[in-house]
Structure 1
């Protein structure tokens, strides 16, 4: 029996999450990534209403403004999308334990052994879609096939809020009439090169002699293109291992020199990192402050802790020691970031000294995390780190 791989892709994820949080945004051309005056920002997500005007992810905000001047522009809500993604992953786990997250808004699932529990593939997919819609009030698109590549293409073909299953053995026929640019990994340059050869469809690509493709894409590239064109791909689902690091960074709307403004933003990033650590059941032993100056020179300043931690107070204390090093180069600052590494699983071992104080901070963190889990990350702030709205960090 061939494997059955389900690919799920959240529809206009960031924009959909924002519309769920504020229903007045529904039906409007919503562009998430930056305000109208954020000239350095790019589009992170655009609602389907905005896409009708040609707005796309990774497009400069200035270009999106020209294409859709009446659009609703807003900055990313830090932490909100990651929390929604984790909740969605919990829903996916009700269908199968075999999950591989491809990004914050995409995942591949091996549903081979779970289909019989729901009756058929469509009922399984409907279970997932209904649960996400009921809990998060957003839609998703699902494709099912014998491998990850074809399942992803199937999902792309039925967006938004669709479902498409490709039967085993029908992969090549499904792909054949599609534009060659719809193959994952075929970017604009490769698409143009193939079309210049007269290769417009995936079906035509499957008939091109391999030596011809080798001259253009090399041996490995040619082999990969031909395999994909024939509907062949990996069906291995590899769950994520423990991350090697956790980091957050933000670019300021304008270069800053006042560290009284910069420091609270860094602390806010540290809060996000610490929350992510605890959510994953991890601790960090190394804290790094990243600083990019106005001349684009980037410096990193690190401190190794005596004990691993997942507490905001410990991470912020390390950052306070690093601030003078970053300030020594008396230059305006364009970007700051916090990077936690040397990660290990949290063993909840209290230190010999200051045990009572650490227990207090553990209790505080647990309470804060509980509130954030119910109301969102921004429901609770550590008093010292409240940034003013103008310089509040954006997702990066």
Structure 2
């Protein structure tokens, strides 16, 4: 999700062309698992979160007299109000609808918070817009369970942290996952296994395929192609003659659910983070310090699994009243060390000069990433030849075999408080 305001961008056929090679299956024959997260009526949901008195009332985000509808809640959609239509038309369709002016700063903040939640289960997060993202959770199954469990886990965390709902689609490709999330709306989850792709896709109208707009749909209908099954069983040569070699071939591939595009973080969005929400708000500095150490360890672990080092460390705190504060610093040398990340997070925490406020959540995010095999880490003069870096790689092997709690620092076992990892 990118913090860019505006309506959802219109898909073109170039969006379906793979910019990177197809992702091969994992060793051992495990097929990749792609997830598409789509927020439900995003702008409207954010506004309803802070205007609960409007719950159940038709409303939309946009100008009351001029401008366009950015998002409408489902009560307004029942009257035909849709994103992108003029506000004046929306009010003609639903005169009782309440128009709420947009607050893009808040939308960007909420979007960034959702991305942080998504990155808590995988480093492979690709923001498609401010309110949707793709995840490759193939490797996350070892730690978080089945794809459905991961999806439900994320839905619960987003609802708890941001107070809004999302729909989740799961499939073997971005294309299938995207359609699945649309079928899950609102506030649901649909999983399509590799063996169920054709049974899922073929009964759907051909207009379900992204990129099939009014013009393409009319042309397909003239050819007698109404469903995805009709498209799948139309000779590729026919489609190429009607739509050109590239678009015709792509239509045929998508009709069978074939999509080799990888989930790739876009330039400028690459980062690794983790957040922890306390089971109870706390003002105990010892508890906060222990939780920051836990979070630093998780971030460092994810960085090593992704093969990256980072220089920009950001500390994020959310207080009991849901106020949020964040502070960042830049390191002289990139790192993936738990101790270094923890030390810098504590440095930022100390600079805030807090006087025992009640804290709901702590988080650490590292950006300014570089590939570990291309980075140079400047050692200190007193650094041993072998130290914590090697020790952490040894514990990584244990965690891969026995799970995230296979080994942990003793200080983290001495706190009896409850927290839930994001």
TM-score (norm 1): 0.60
What is residue 102 of structure 1 aligned with on the other side?
A: 128
What is residue 204 of structure 1 aligned with on the other side?
A: 230
1:31 to 60, 63, 81: 60
2:50 to 4, 15, 21: 21
Matches for 1:206-355 after TM superposition, within 5 Å: 206-242=232-268
Question: What is the Cα deviation at residue 347 of structure 1?
Answer: 6.1
Question: What is the Cα deviation at residue 240 of structure 1?
Answer: 1.8
Q: What CA deviation, in whole Å up to 9, does each residue of 1:104-152 have, x standing for no partner?
A: 0000000011123222111111110111111111100001000000000
Matched, 1:111 2:137: yes
What is residue 120 of structure 1 aligned with on the other side?
A: 146
What is residue 38 of structure 2 aligned with on the other side?
A: 9
Unaligned stretches of 5+ residues in structure 2: 1-29, 270-310, 313-327, 333-347, 353-359, 361-422
Distance 1:61 1:24 in 2: 22
Question: What is the Cα deviation at residue 21 of structure 1?
Answer: 1.3
Change (3 A) 1:242 1:29: same
What is residue 418 of structure 2 aligned with on the other side?
A: none
Question: What is the Cα deviation at residue 24 of structure 1?
Answer: 0.9
Q: What CA deviation, in whole Å up to 9, does each residue of 1:2-23 have, x standing for no partner?
A: 1000100000000000001111
**More deviation, 206-215/54-63:** 206-215
Q: What SS is found at the alignment partner of 1:142?
A: strand
Change (3 A) 1:3 1:348: closer
Q: What CA deviation, in whole Å up to 9, does each residue of 1:304-338 have, x standing for no partner?
A: xxxxxxxxxxxxxxxxxxxxxxxxxxxxxxxxxxx
What is residue 320 of structure 1 aligned with on the other side?
A: none
Q: What SS is found at the alignment partner of 2:37?
A: strand
Q: What CA deviation, in whole Å up to 9, does each residue of 1:77-118 have, x standing for no partner?
A: 121111100000111111111100111000000001112322
Moved over 4 A (4+): 345-349
What is residue 383 of structure 1 aligned with on the other side?
A: none
Question: What is the Cα deviation at residue 52 of structure 1?
Answer: 0.6
Q: What SS is found at the alignment partner of 2:49?
A: helix
Q: What CA deviation, in whole Å up to 9, does each residue of 1:242-283 have, x standing for no partner?
A: 27xxxxxxxxxxxxxxxxxxxxxxxxxxxxxxxxxxxx97xx
Matches for 1:342-381 after TM superposition, within 5 Å: none
**More deviation, 103-112/161-170:** 161-170
Matched, 1:80 2:80: no
Superposed CA RMSD: 2.4
Question: What is the Cα deviation at residue 61 of structure 1?
Answer: 1.1
Q: What SS is found at the alignment partner of 1:240?
A: coil
Distance 2:224 2:101 in 1: 42
Matched, 1:65 2:91: yes
Matches for 1:35-50 after TM superposition, within 5 Å: 35=64, 37-38=65-66, 41-50=67-76
Q: What SS is found at the alignment partner of 2:117?
A: helix
TM-score (norm 2): 0.57
Distance 1:196 1:44 in 2: 33
**More deviation, 151-160/212-221:** 212-221
Question: What is the Cα deviation at residue 67 of structure 1?
Answer: 1.0
Question: What is the Cα deviation at residue 58 of structure 1?
Answer: 0.8
